[in-house]
Amino acid sequence: MRATLLVSVLLTALYSSADLKSLVVIHTNDFHGRIAEDGRYAGAARIAALVKKTRAENERVLVLDAGDAISGTPVSTMFQGVPIFEILNMVGYDAGAIGNHEFDHGYALIDRFREVANYPLLSANAFAPHGDLIGDAPALIRNIGGITVAIIGLITDFTPHIITPVGNEGISFATPRKMLAAMVSAMRPQVDLIVVVSHLGHEEEKQLASEVAGIDLIVGGHSHTLVEEPVRVGETWVVQANYYGTHVGYLELLVDTDEGGIDELEGGLIIAADLPPGDPEVKALVAAWESRVAEKVDVQIAAVSRSYNKIELQPMLERILAIATQTEFGYYNMGGIRDVITKGPVSARHIWNIEPFGNTLVTLTTDGATLKKIMQRENESHGRVDKIVDNETYTVGTNSFIGAQAKKVYGDKVTVSDKGVLVRDVLIDHIRANGI
């Protein structure tokens, strides 16, 4: 016993005087404007409190966000995402990735987010129409208490297919793997640690780790995946912290500053309820922003005796769109349903959270074969697609996002007529009058 203890004390002394340095990494992703603490969602103030506490107790801390910070709540939507960065500044991030939803108000507004954010928004593979990089930089090298860390930002090259084309004409995305391989081999000799903040999705991130050697850690996002235990792929650790701040990632690393790389990694996710109480200053700023929207959204419109998940909500929302457009049926893409409805009073805010994008109501007319493709593109495998006849013409009530994407892909095969009203308002009015 004694001998073992002595050996371990000696080893610890040896390590700490030599090459190994500890580093805490805190990470979030797909926050989607959930600034206020609400049920399962931590809110910015509690995340900020964790960061503050961690920085007070540890010499080296790195705080990262993997993108989609905005779009999901009334404050985000009404003020086009800008206040979210103002609030996230108080969390104390070192860097963030740009996610697909940062393009929701057109790519030009990302410049405004960059101005407001006091931390760099990184993206190595997103390009404006004339080839300029969108974002502050592709990567960043920082010395954190003697550890040299490279942080590289990446976004899915599937982004053009999942963002509104409006305000995003002519932008392009390079293949993440190619871009990353070149950057990693150039940076590896200069740094102790390579971290990728990635808005690609968990499966793609694991794939990337298996294809590109030399990455130490991928802080992921986009797929909203609850990665309870960090996943090891070759020499790379891959993590992701669910979505909307239900969890915060917390990793303790021992970094080898002689050879480079992670010698040891511990940690995982902290659930919102286990975070320290909210930082009062952040709470005050969140409250100030929330008060600016409260009058409009904190109004009860219905009450429900049970909760509804997204699969249950989809046909209900589609029926409302069909009624509003007086069409055969409605189509509401599952990816556009951004929240659930929980038992109890339903307020306009809940509908804002379900439809934060501000899409308008449209009718879409096309042949059955094209309609099937439009619906299947959204990974919808409902039996209802089988009932559509290829050669028949259909007019469906849907949203302007689906209308614009369909027009972009199928051109003249699709006719879209915009009704000039917000889908959200249609839903609120219908639910107010008829309940759920």
Chain center to CA of 108: 19
33 binds Zn ion (CB under 5 A): no
Based on CB atoms, which residue is closest to Zn ion, 68 or 256? 68
28: left (phi over 0), alpha (psi -120 to 50) or beta: beta
Nearest to 26 by CA among 245, 211, 182: 245
E-assigned strand segments in 104-186: 121-122, 126-127, 139-144, 147-155, 172-173
Residue-wise burial string across 96-128, b where 16 or more C-beta atoms lie within 10 A, e elsewhere? bbbbbbbbbbbbebbeebbebbebbbbbbbbbb
The nearest distance, CB 101 to Zn ion, in angstroms, is 6
Q: Using the rule CB under 5 A, give the single segment among 6-14, 217-225, 294-302, 356-364 that binds Zn ion.
A: 217-225
Q: For the range 215-218, what are the long-range contacts, defined as Cβ-Cβ under 8 Å and sequence gap of 24 or more?
A: 215/180, 215/184, 216/261, 216/262, 217/25, 217/193, 217/251, 217/253, 217/262, 217/265
Of 83, 99, 214, 356, which lies in the binding site for Zn ion, with binding defined by CB under 5 A? 99
Residue-wise burial string across 161-200, b where 16 or more C-beta atoms lie within 10 A, e elsewhere? ebbbeeebeebebeebbebbbebbeebbeebbbbbbbbbb
Which amino acid is residue 334, in one-letter code? Answer: M
The nearest distance, CB 198 to Zn ion, in angstroms, is 11
Based on CB atoms, which residue is closest to Zn ion, 30 or 136? 30
- Judge contact between 151 and 96, C-beta under 8 A: no
Based on CB atoms, which residue is closest to Zn ion, 154 or 293? 154
Based on CB atoms, which residue is closest to Zn ion, 99 or 245? 99
Number of residues that bind Zn ion (CB under 5 A): 4
Based on CB atoms, which residue is closest to Zn ion, 99 or 330? 99
Based on CB atoms, which residue is closest to Zn ion, 21 or 101? 101
Instruction: Look at the block and give the residue holding tokens 């391989």.
Output: 181
Nearest to 285 by CA among 48, 10, 56: 48
100 binds Zn ion (CB under 5 A): yes
CB count within 10 Å of CB 270 equals 19
The nearest distance, CB 199 to Zn ion, in angstroms, is 6
Q: Using the rule CB under 5 A, give the single segment among 100-108, 143-151, 278-286, 344-352 that binds Zn ion.
A: 100-108
Based on CB atoms, which residue is closest to Zn ion, 60 or 202? 202
Based on CB atoms, which residue is closest to Zn ion, 68 or 104? 68
The nearest distance, CB 152 to Zn ion, in angstroms, is 17
Burial environment of residue 8 by CB neighbours within 10 A (0 to 12, 13 to 18, 19 or more): exposed
The nearest distance, CB 384 to Zn ion, in angstroms, is 26
Q: Using the rule CB under 5 A, give the single segment among 112-120, 184-192, 216-224, 402-410 that binds Zn ion.
A: 216-224
Based on CB atoms, which residue is closest to Zn ion, 100 or 242? 100
Based on CB atoms, which residue is closest to Zn ion, 68 or 339? 68
220 binds Zn ion (CB under 5 A): no
Based on CB atoms, which residue is closest to Zn ion, 68 or 318? 68
Q: Using the rule CB under 5 A, give the single segment among 96-104, 178-186, 311-319, 364-372 that binds Zn ion.
A: 96-104
The nearest distance, CB 11 to Zn ion, in angstroms, is 43
* Structure tokens, 401: 């996002």
The nearest distance, CB 335 to Zn ion, in angstroms, is 10
- Judge contact between 426 and 320, C-beta under 8 A: yes
Alpha carbon separation from 377 to 43, 368, 406, 407 (Å, rounded): 33, 14, 10, 13
The nearest distance, CB 192 to Zn ion, in angstroms, is 30
Instruction: Look at the block and give the residue holding tokens 């209802």.
Output: 384
* Structure tokens, 356: 């934060």
The residue at minimum Cβ distance from Zn ion is 222
Of 21, 60, 202, 222, which lies in the binding site for Zn ion, with binding defined by CB under 5 A? 222
Residues 171-210, one symbol each (x = binds Zn ion by CB under 5 A, - = not), give ----------------------------------------
DSSP 8-state assignment for residue 335: G
DSSP string, 62-96: EEEE-S--SSSSHHHHHTTTHHHHHHHTTTT-SEE
* Structure tokens, 98: 């740009």
The nearest distance, CB 97 to Zn ion, in angstroms, is 10
The nearest distance, CB 342 to Zn ion, in angstroms, is 24
Chain center to CA of 245: 10
Residues 59-88, one symbol each (x = binds Zn ion by CB under 5 A, - = not), give ---------x--------------------
The nearest distance, CB 201 to Zn ion, in angstroms, is 8
- Contact residues for Zn ion, defined by CB under 5 A: 68, 99-100, 222
